[in-house]
A and B are shown apart, each in its own frame.
Chain A
């Protein structure tokens, strides 16, 4: 028996050897092609006189960045400039994700409304914004809308806000000595509200007596706020309002037109995708579920909140996650209107220093990290919302 097995297959037809051979060939091809390209690159870099390495991040950047979340001067290093870019990317992505989600959910529900007109308007909005390139939309917002606003002197006044070609001047807050107490009591209020809500609801479900969990939760939260006011004798923050100064607005907070253009562009574009996902998610909940909820005597709004939505959210989360990732990646289009995001700063840096390879690798790494972090958060959220099966 053993002897028969030994002679049976030649090695080129042996199922155990073929895969190994194939992989060796594959590795060889990759190594040869890769080695050739890298060799060329090293030779090319030597010709221009650039050494690979991250040392350039320590030298002075000497270019200006119009808006940043951390202190930045042109005398700072390239490393700090890149940091500013990363923070700006995160800023526009986070605000964009929040706004796009809110608008997307609204439009998605409007698309299913039984009001004919609302439904058609939502559909029209989706078809228009989905089928034109995001970059064109951003250009329209920036060059054809925000830069066409009047000069600062003739700015549009909308309540306490001003709109001019230098952006939107909005009321802003400043922290003072009482803010810490306010924020502490605010958090305590929220925790108390959650605890009351849970315990009261639990007793209500167990005993069947009315325990008013909602009233208790809101009540405890408001009590905390009143306490805060009694302690500090002032509001949580000082508000400052924009006032027209000699050349620009003073006080308040000025949002640059670049930021506005990229934010509105990203939001309006991504919201259409989220709207379609929300619609599909709600439609995917089978009709029987709604009918069963009705048969139990639930109201329309309660049916939506307790029966349809928890089931829809499971289908909605994975595609919405990929939309969030898209939004983060699309925020790189900011480079086109000069908002100082990672790509914009990186581009300036690599043009000034010539360290293209390193800079592009840094960009890739940062975006990969952001993508992975977003996926991670959404996966945790996704796990929580899934049904626990046997």
Chain B
């Protein structure tokens, strides 16, 4: 928080102030009842908290009927993905588990926390009674894979490069395996759904928008006026309109712009919309990174004989990208949350599935349970991403000198 303090500590060891020996009552007096208005605030907060906690508890443990979740669990996770082909989803999860395990083994720290979280989530799903026998088996295998990867990592030569490459390759591999593309029987994208679809759309949007964003940022900072104003116009227009209009545009106008006979299904259309939208925000993040690099760097690169593109690729960009990692994670989190909007344009992502389940007459009036559950899912993923980014920020020392 206070950068002055940090630099001081690195120079000399400061003597810690003596530990306070106030005890429980001292702590209470200092932190809750230090003066009259703090006491009133504390009392009001305790009463409000009591009613909220009581309400939540009585809902979660007494009045809620959670069967609506457990009976539709498959739907929430993968939508209507063909039952016979479900092994593909599990295999993709297996690859991700292996990569998590390897990363945990190599980098420890944040990666290890994330792997433990993944294993715990898998374990919870294995222990709850409603998952089927095969699902429990797959879940068990996945936990095994995480642990295996963790202990295997130190023995692989060049493990860092392999793991990073693995993360990049896992993405096309997942798409390939889920779709089949003729090698396996094709599973059409219109049956992809649930959490699977939510994750896919957000990952595609982030990964694909990244290079586009870099190009737009370079265009915006370039000194070619036509290119510059084109990029400015694109970025500012996209940033000025709500995501939902971009999705409507993708759904209604992309089919118009294509030649007759060529059709793109609506999942892909939404992915294009999300990508074009995120690219504009990504470009602004990258531009921020570029601006944070002092011009001396560029001049130094020129001085040692690099030309413009070389200086950009080898000197400026690596530093700029390192500086904007937190911003990119933030962008990923908001994209992940914003994928819920695809439910409005008729896709069955996590929220879309929730809407379908609620409209099922067997589960009439179970809105609160369903929404609570998907809110929890979104929350766990978004919060763990922001947690990871905060830790990474600290370990990378971004923003500190």
Contact = CB atoms under 8 A, between A and B. Distances in A.
B258 A40 contact: yes
Interface residues of chain B: helix, strand, loop or mixed (majority) = helix
B230 A30 contact: yes
A122 to B, nearest CB: 10
Contacts of B374: 136
Given A136-B351, A363-B241, A367-B240, A350 B252 contact: yes
Interface string B370-392: 01101100110011001000000
A95 interface: no
A43 interface: yes
A7 B327 CA distance: 50
Interface stretch (B37-45, B116-124, B177-185, B315-323): B37-45
B25 interface: no
Interface string A158-177: 00000000000000000000
A360 B253 contact: yes
Contact of B341 (A41, A137, A333): A333
Given A30-B230, A335-B344, A360 B252 contact: yes
A151 B223 CA distance: 64
Contact of B244 (A40, A139, A332): A332
Interface stretch (A140-148, A227-235, A304-312): A140-148
Contacts of B31: 114-117
Interface residues of A, number: 56
Contacts of B227: 22-23, 26
**Taking each of A115, A116, A118, A332, which has the highest tally of chain B beta carbons within 10 Å of its own beta carbon?**
A115
Contacts of A23: 224-227
B368 interface: yes
B371 A140 contact: yes
A149 to B, nearest CB: 13
Contacts of B382: 131-132
A74 interface: no
B257 A37 contact: yes
B38 A115 contact: yes
Interface in A1-44: 19, 22-23, 26-27, 30, 37-38, 40-41, 43-44
B260 A47 contact: yes
Contact of B256 (A40, A283, A363): A40
B367 A143 contact: yes
A70 interface: no
A133 to B, nearest CB: 4
Nearest to B48: A121
A139 B371 contact: yes
Given A133-B351, A136-B378, A336-B344, A144 B223 contact: no
Contact of A117 (B46, B252, B365): B46
B34 interface: yes
B338 interface: yes
Interface residues of chain A: helix, strand, loop or mixed (majority) = helix
Interface string A357-385: 10010011001100110000000000000
Contact of B371 (A144, A287, A364): A144
A132 B258 contact: no
B379 A132 contact: yes
B393 to A, nearest CB: 14
Interface string B246-272: 001100110111111000000000000
**Taking each of A30, A128, A331, A360, which has the highest tally of chain B beta carbons within 10 Å of its own beta carbon?**
A360
B371 A44 contact: no
Nearest to B40: A115
A343 interface: yes
A350 to B, nearest CB: 7
Contacts of B240: 364, 367-368, 371-372
B338 A133 contact: yes
A291 interface: no
A117 B259 CA distance: 62
Contacts of B2: 287
A371 B242 CA distance: 11
A347 interface: yes
B49 interface: yes
A368 B340 contact: no
A284 B379 CA distance: 29
A121 B49 contact: yes
A40 B248 contact: no
A115 B248 CA distance: 47
A157 interface: no
Contacts of B337: 131-134
A356 interface: yes
A144 B64 CA distance: 12
**Taking each of B38, B227, B240, which has the highest tally of chain A beta carbons within 10 Å of its own beta carbon?**
B240
B302 to A, nearest CB: 13
A127 B257 contact: no
A350 B249 CA distance: 11
A118 B48 CA distance: 11
Contact of A135 (B333, B343, B379): B343
A354 to B, nearest CB: 10
A363 B344 CA distance: 17
B32 interface: yes
A314 interface: no
Contacts of B224: 19, 22-23, 26
Contacts of B338: 133
B97 to A, nearest CB: 24
A80 interface: no
Given A148-B367, A347-B248, 7 more contacts: A41-B256, A118-B41, A135-B344, A144-B367, A287-B2, A335-B244, A343-B248
19 contacts: A19-B224, A44-B255, A47-B260, A116-B31, A117-B42, A132-B337, A135-B343, A135-B351, A136-B371, A148-B367, A333-B344, A343-B244, A356-B253, A363-B241, A363-B245, A364-B237, A364-B240, A364-B245, A367-B240
Counting from the closest, the 9 A-B pairs by CB-CB distance are: A116-B31, A332-B242, A329-B242, A131-B382, A133-B337, A133-B340, A144-B367, A144-B368, A37-B257
